[in-house]
Amino acid sequence: MVTLSDVAKQANVSKMTVSRVINHPEQVTTELRELVVAAMQELNYQPNAAAKALANNRSNVVKFLILEDIDTTEPYYMNLLFGIARGLDKRQYALQLITDRQKLTAGNADGYLITGARTSDFPWLDQLEKPLVLFGENRYGYDFIDTDNKLGTQMATKYALAKNYQSIIFIGIDVKEPFEYSREAGYINTLQQHAKLPRIYRLANHSRLSQQYIEEHWREFAPNTCFICASDRLAVGVVRGILHEGGAIPRDFGVIGHDGVFLDQVSNPQLTTVQQQVPELGEHLARMLLSKIAQSGAQQGELLLAPKLVTRGTTRE
Amino acid sequence: MVTLSDVAKQANVSKMTVSRVINHPEQVTTELRELVVAAMQELNYQPNAAAKALANNRSNVVKFLILEDIDTTEPYYMNLLFGIARGLDKRQYALQLITDRQKLTAGNADGYLITGARTSDFPWLDQLEKPLVLFGENRYGYDFIDTDNKLGTQMATKYALAKNYQSIIFIGIDVKEPFEYSREAGYINTLQQHAKLPRIYRLANHSRLSQQYIEEHWREFAPNTCFICASDRLAVGVVRGILHEGGAIPRDFGVIGHDGVFLDQVSNPQLTTVQQQVPELGEHLARMLLSKIAQSGAQQGELLLAPKLVTRGTTRE
DNA sequence: TTGTAAGCGTTATCAA
DNA sequence: TTGATAACGCTTACAA
């Protein structure tokens, strides 16, 4: 294994000069810096993360806690995880996946990424001693990153209006969480701007339930209606319900989902959906946490990433 | 931060005794050991992974390389990842996710977990200097863990026969990989034992293709046929094709998938499928790699985990 | 600007 | 069986 000392010898300088070239290059003269850089390349020097971590009183590990039930976690998290991994990689950070909150404080970590946190979790979040970034909106001042949920449903609703669907109905998820409020708000705002009355139904997030709902209330839905759904799961059920009742998609009925991960593509027809930029969200999560760690816990604020409206088979051309 | 020294003081012993209690407890007398354990608990001692790693010339990091295209990786890997995480956690190991093989040897790691490796990858795998375990069958002597693919299709085929489907057709994935050969072998064996002739069709792994295939060859399939599919994707397409042609599932046509992750449940009707024990596979992967690391790279052999046949709506009661 | 020395928390080695 | 010492590779603090 090539160490700092090896590089130092090769470049005829002290270990410290090599260390400075890596961490504070501006403190080193250009000639020495170039000598050292050349030596590092020649020897293919790979810094030892453990030694660095020990000297810095760090662990170079970040924990990712998923509070939602795994069985229900759709493919979504896979993409998020890859984004996080990409963000951590650049700084040689590794990841620990946690599903049991008890294990969060066991072992070492420099900070925490937490998803699925609800209001009831905030008390124990406050007890944590390491920097923390949430994935998902909250209104209590925790740093977070999320999709711009409001913008997403605004885009979807505007699109449905532009495609001349007369009646626009929102199928929401029956939870009292900020992401759902934001999605509903985007829908309501846009309708109001067009002097239309909102119609919102809320269901647990299962395709079976939304399918059943559509079938049972079929007579209430006139042709020329578009359903804006708070998830692709709900959207898939709505599509099935409409097809089961003999409705024509996309001619008489439009359906727009939300999330845009996997399910939208395997469904038939493929869903028009508000696609979250999941890997990018993950990468920003990692970046925000690392910079919070570097700034010894300083507040980072919030970051909303714009989603993309992907138009496919469940809305008019 | 509580260190070994703190515990040592508290217990009135030397650091080394504390270290031994942790790593070689059999070398310490019972009384001292109890004293030390008590002190560790009282102070809530958490070993410093970085220091341990440095002293052991380890990194306490394992890299997980995914060679397949992420976009096509279904939810499957999420579960695998959680299994791996669980296996690593117990020994305070952290994970780095890699999708770019170039990055595998950048930075530090004590070993590699690799999935999606094909024969063409073996040359560069041989160049790797750290212990390595593959996820997925291979016949070149690399240590690996996989589902017992042959057993899975045997179970599926026997079940179809037991349910009195007369004709049993295999819809395979059109790749030349051991897992596919094993799945086909399980099907062929079982049919031969029942003096029936195998019928195998191979397609790329997309539901659209299998649906299309069924529709285009519909007249070739007599009622009382069961399709054994090499993936849930293919199975979902087969179901759609049958329904589209007006076939009755499960009365006249049975469909059995393979994998049992997510897709089987969101499909309608829910699939009968050969369900892989994915989190367990992940946990065993981690365990095998850690023990290989501990044994400085000793051969670990192969491990096949039995899948479960989950019977649902696409086969007869 | 560069180098020296000490220390981060742990473990292996060797001596008692 | 237990303890003192040195070492792992790096960085901070201080000296030159």
Measured CA to C1', the nucleotide nearest B24 is: C11
**pLDDT for residue A64:** 95
Contact B275, B309 (CB under 8 A): yes
Whether A207 is covered by a domain: the verdict is yes
**pLDDT for residue B16:** 94
The pLDDT > 70 percentage for chain A reads 98
**pLDDT for residue A286:** 97
Q: Do A163 and A84 share a structural domain? A: no
Contact B170, B199 (CB under 8 A): yes
Q: Which residue of B has its CA nearest to A88?
A: B96
Residue B131 maps to which CATH number?
A: 3.40.50.2300
Give the pLDDT mean for A284-298: 94
Q: Do A158 and A81 share a structural domain? A: no
Q: Does A243 touch chain B (CB under 8 A)?
A: no
* pLDDT, tens only, B132-180: 999 999 999 999 999 999 999 999 999 999 999 999 999 999 999 999 9
Chain-centre distance of CA B299, in angstroms?
19
Contact between A266 and B268 using a beta-carbon 8 Å cutoff:
no
Q: How crowded is residue B183: how many other Cβ atoms within 10 Å of its Cβ?
A: 28
Lookup: tokens for A287: 């970046």
| pLDDT classification of A267: cutoffs 50, 70, 90 | confident
Instruction: Name chain B contacts of A262, Cβ cutoff 8 Å.
Output: 74-75, 262
Reply yes or no on whether the pLDDT at A250 is more than 80.
yes
| pLDDT classification of A68: cutoffs 50, 70, 90 | confident
Contact A187, A153 (CB under 8 A): yes
Whether B54 is covered by a domain: the verdict is no
Partner residue facing B54 (CB), from A51, A92, A240: A51
**pLDDT for residue B277:** 96
Instruction: Name chain B contacts of A106, Cβ cutoff 8 Å.
Output: 46
Give the pLDDT mean for B237-243: 96
Q: What is the CA B41 to C1' C4 distance in angstroms?
A: 40
How many domains, in total, are found in chain B? 3
| Single-letter residue type at A197 | L
Reply yes or no on whether the pLDDT at A72 is more than 80.
no
CA distance B175 to B72: 15
Q: Strand D: which bases are under 7 Å from protein Cβ?
A: 1-5, 7-13
Q: Which residue of A has its CA nearest to B98?
A: A85
Whether B313 is covered by a domain: the verdict is no
Q: Do B289 and B244 share a structural domain? A: no
**pLDDT for residue B73:** 61
Q: For A136, which DSSP code? A: S
Measured CA to C1', the nucleotide nearest B45 is: C9
Whether B196 is covered by a domain: the verdict is yes
Contact between A75 and B78 using a beta-carbon 8 Å cutoff:
yes
Q: Do A163 and A242 share a structural domain? A: yes
The pLDDT > 90 percentage for chain A reads 86
Looking at per-residue pLDDT, the higher value among A261 and B282 belongs to: B282
Give the pLDDT mean for B190-219: 96
Give the pLDDT mean for A38-63: 94
CA distance B161 to B95: 44
**pLDDT for residue B79:** 86
Q: Do A128 and A153 share a structural domain? A: no
**pLDDT for residue B11:** 93
Q: Do B259 and B225 share a structural domain? A: yes
Residue B20 maps to which CATH number?
A: 1.10.260.40
**pLDDT for residue B74:** 67
* pLDDT, tens only, A101-112: 988 988 899 999
- Show contacts of B291-299: CB within 8 Å, 24+ apart: B292/B111, B292/B131, B292/B133, B292/B143, B293/B58, B293/B110, B293/B111, B293/B131, B296/B131, B297/B131, B299/B143
Q: Do A287 and A254 share a structural domain? A: no
Q: Model-level pTM?
A: 0.91
CA–CA min distance B281, chain A (Å): 16
Q: Do B295 and B249 share a structural domain? A: no
Q: Do B235 and B91 share a structural domain? A: no
Q: Do A297 and A264 share a structural domain? A: no
Chain-centre distance of CA A191, in angstroms?
27
Q: Do A29 and A113 share a structural domain? A: no
* pLDDT, tens only, B47-87: 999 999 999 999 999 999 999 876 656 678 888 999 999 99
**pLDDT for residue A222:** 95
Q: How crowded is residue A185: how many other Cβ atoms within 10 Å of its Cβ?
A: 15
Whether A55 is covered by a domain: the verdict is no
- Mean pLDDT (chain B, rounded): 94
Sort B316 into a burial class: Cβ within 10 Å, 0-12 / 13-18 / 19+: middle
Reply yes or no on whether the pLDDT at B38 is more than 70.
yes
Instruction: Name chain A contacts of B61, Cβ cutoff 8 Å.
Output: 49, 94
* pLDDT, tens only, A144-167: 999 999 999 999 999 999 999 999
B163 Cβ contacts chain D strand, under 7 Å: no
| Cα radius of gyration rounded to whole Å, chain B | 25
Q: Do A206 and A172 share a structural domain? A: yes
Contact between B50 and A46 using a beta-carbon 8 Å cutoff:
no
**pLDDT for residue B77:** 85
CA distance B135 to B67: 11
Reply yes or no on whether the pLDDT at A194 is more than 90.
yes
Give the pLDDT mean for A182-203: 97
A294 Cβ contacts chain D strand, under 7 Å: no
Interhelix angle for A207-216 vs A232-244, to 10°? 40
| pLDDT classification of B4: cutoffs 50, 70, 90 | very high
* pLDDT, tens only, B79-115: 899 999 999 988 889 999 998 898 898 889 999 999 9
**pLDDT for residue B71:** 62
Q: What is the CA A28 to C1' D15 distance in angstroms?
A: 18
Q: What is the CA B310 to C1' C9 distance in angstroms?
A: 50
Task: Identify the CA nearest to B171 among candidates B216, B235, B223.
Answer: B235
* pLDDT, tens only, A269-282: 999 999 999 999 99
Q: Strand C: which bases are under 7 Å from protein Cβ?
A: 1-5, 7-13
Q: What is the CA B11 to C1' C4 distance in angstroms?
A: 36
| Cα radius of gyration rounded to whole Å, chain A | 25
**pLDDT for residue B70:** 66
CA distance A143 to A137: 9
* pLDDT, tens only, A88-130: 988 889 999 998 898 898 889 999 999 999 889 999 999 999 9
A22, A40, A60, A103: best mutation site toward chain B, by most B Cβ within 10 Å?
Answer: A60
Q: Which residue is nearest to nucleotide D6 (CA to C1')?
A: B55
Whether A313 is covered by a domain: the verdict is no
**pLDDT for residue A70:** 66
The region of weakest confidence among A70-79, A129-138, B122-131, B235-244 is A70-79
The region of weakest confidence among A61-70, A175-184, B204-213 is A61-70
Find all residues with CB under 8 Å of B12, minimum gap 6, and list them. B35
**pLDDT for residue A71:** 62
Whether B115 is covered by a domain: the verdict is yes
Structural domain containing residue B41: 4-47
Whether A317 is covered by a domain: the verdict is no
Give the pLDDT mean for A222-226: 97
